[in-house]
């Protein structure tokens, strides 16, 4: 891409990166003016690309799920099933996958979001299934357990330099098969998990 098209693309990337940082550090009530300022672009540039904050959040959700799918595909390329799964979890925590969970139910879920979610779910399921078949991941863990775990680690803690990585290492060891302590209660319910975002149209 050249000229105006290339500049528009660069500005869009700046906006998305700035939005992710602003929402993560300041909360989802942060004004879009803070995003434009962080990105170093004018409000006009922001509104030409995203008419509302909801559109911006929807785009961020799509990108996050696409990155999760890419991380899972990378994990499947790792010959060792456990290293592949652990690498996927660490990658998702690193780029903040799941950090948009607090806005579930407050924005409309687009068809694109559902489609990307389905594609990501397929490859993530394959990664988790491979680890369980190899005995590397305890058998009573589900894909939703993994997703909710990543959500808990998605938002950075102020002043944290190593604590998140330390605790994540402890948790990863707890996921390894065969497992020692039985997990309490039933596994997360998929209908509940998806209903947080709203009803899916047929």
Token pair 């399921």 in the structure block, residue:
125
The average pLDDT across 180-194 equals 89
Determine the average pLDDT of the residues in 60-82. 95
Q: pTM above the 0.85 mark?
A: yes
Contact 136, 177 (CB under 8 A): yes
Average confidence score pLDDT of the chain: 89
pLDDT at 59 over 70: yes
Longest dimension (CA), the chain: 60
Q: How far is CA 77 from the centre of its chain?
A: 20
More confident residue, 142 or 198: 142
58 class by beta-carbon count within 10 Å (0-12 exposed, 13-18 middle, 19+ buried): buried
SS3 137: strand
Query: pLDDT > 90: what percent of the chain?
Result: 53
Whether the pLDDT of residue 65 is over 90: the answer is yes
Is a pLDDT exceeding 70 seen at residue 3?
no
Tens of pLDDT, residue by residue over 17-34, are 888 888 888 888 889 999
* pLDDT of res. 202: 55
Does pLDDT of 87 surpass 70?
Answer: yes
Q: Where are the alpha helices (DSSP H) in the chain?
A: 3-26, 32-39, 43-49, 53-77, 81-95, 111-133, 143-154, 163-175, 190-195
Highest-confidence segment of 58-62, 128-132, 196-200: 128-132
Q: Where are the domains of the chain?
A: 1-51, 61-195
User: Do 1-51 and 61-195 show the same overall fold?
Assistant: no
Q: For residue 10, is pLDDT > 80?
A: no
Of 180, 123, 124, 115, residue with least CA distance to 150: 124
- Out of 8-12, 73-77, 96-100, 167-171, the most confident range is 73-77
pLDDT for 7 beyond 80: no
**CATH number 3.40.1350.10 is the correct assignment for the domain at 61-195:** no
CA torsion 16-149-161-100 (nearest 10°) is 20
Please name the fold of domain 1-51.
Answer: Arc Repressor Mutant, subunit A (1.10.10)
């Amino acid at each position: 891409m050249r000229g105006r098209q290339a500049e528009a693309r660069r500005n869009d990337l700046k906006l998305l990166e700035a939005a992710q940082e602003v929402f993560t550090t300041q909360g989802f009530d942060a004004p879009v003016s803070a995003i434009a300022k962080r990105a170093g672009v004018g409000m006009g540039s922001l509104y030409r690309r995203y008419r509302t904050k909801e559109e911006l959040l929807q785009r961020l959700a799509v990108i996050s799920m696409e990155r999760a799918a890419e991380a899972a595909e990378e994990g499947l390329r790792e010959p060792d099933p456990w290293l592949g799964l652990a690498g996927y979890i660490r990658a998702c925590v690193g780029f903040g996958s799941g950090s948009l969970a607090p806005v579930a139910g407050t924005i409309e879920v687009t068809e694109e979001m559902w489609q990307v979610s389905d594609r990501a779910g397929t490859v993530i399921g394959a990664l988790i299934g491979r680890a369980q078949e190899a005995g590397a991941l305890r058998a009573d863990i589900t894909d939703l357990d993994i997703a909710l775990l990543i959500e808990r680690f998605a938002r950075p803690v102020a002043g944290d330099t190593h604590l998140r990585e330390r605790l994540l290492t402890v948790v990863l060891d707890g996921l390894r098969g065969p497992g020692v302590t039985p997990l309490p209660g039933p596994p997360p319910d998929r209908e509940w998990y998806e209903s947080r975002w709203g009803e899916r149209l047929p």
